[in-house]
Amino acid sequence: MFAAIAFYLFSAITIGSALMVISARNPVHSVLFLILAFFNAAALFVLLGAEFLAMILVVVYVGAVAVLFLFVVMMLDIDFVALRRGFMEYLPFGALIGLVLMSELLIAVGAWAFGSAVPAARSNPLPLGVSNTEAIGRILYTDYIFYFQTAGIILLVAMIGAIVLTLRHRPGVKRQSISRQVARGPATAIAMVDVKPGHGDV
């Protein structure tokens, strides 16, 4: 009974937070609602017995991704009023895309069929004597190692691309050159000036 109440409570808060993420006018509020949705989704994972996934969701998404979004939104000077000016203009096109995605999801759910091994997996989701974390590690690094490594490479390329795109060399800004500092000697570090009497202020 308590598990059912907790499930419906966390589910309702998660759905409400997800709706507020896309409907909030302030982007900072959207990020805060996103963090709330992550926490409640992690609570749902705990109810399902997947404590490792709950920890990863909180540590990775709340501790890194959502905080990164928050700092980016707060640091960038974006005119959100100008961005919303074309909202009504593109609303029919966005609604059409939403209907297409919703129909595809309904078709996928309608054609979804459980495999023959699913009932046995439901009754005994974890092997005997193996923890949740160890079971996930065995699956990731044995059956899905190729997909796991491919996802890591894609994320690495995306991270490098984001750094390259945001790396701007503005003129007039002094930057540190470690190679020039290391190669600097007495001849370049000290300037000997012969000051004539009476010309010290020049």
Taking residue 196's Cβ as centre, other Cβ atoms within 10 Å add up to 7
Q: What pTM was estimated for this model as a whole?
A: 0.56
The model's pLDDT over 76-131, given as tens digits with 9 standing for 90+, comes to: 666 666 666 666 777 888 889 989 999 988 888 777 666 666 666 655 566 667 77
As given in the structure block, the two tokens for residue 158 are: 């995306």
What percent of the chain has pLDDT above 90?
Answer: 19
C-alpha to C-alpha distance for 183 and 10, rounded to whole angstroms? 61
CA distance readout (Å), 31 to 42, 100, 153: 17, 27, 27
Q: In terms of residues, how long is the chain?
A: 202
The model's pLDDT over 66-89, given as tens digits with 9 standing for 90+, comes to: 777 777 777 766 666 666 666 677
DSSP H helices in 24-75: 27-47, 51-56, 67-75
The model's pLDDT over 10-68, given as tens digits with 9 standing for 90+, comes to: 999 999 999 998 888 777 788 888 889 999 999 998 888 788 888 888 888 888 777 77
Q: How far is CA 14 from the centre of its chain?
A: 17
CATH 1.20.120.1200 assigned to domain 1-78? The reply is yes
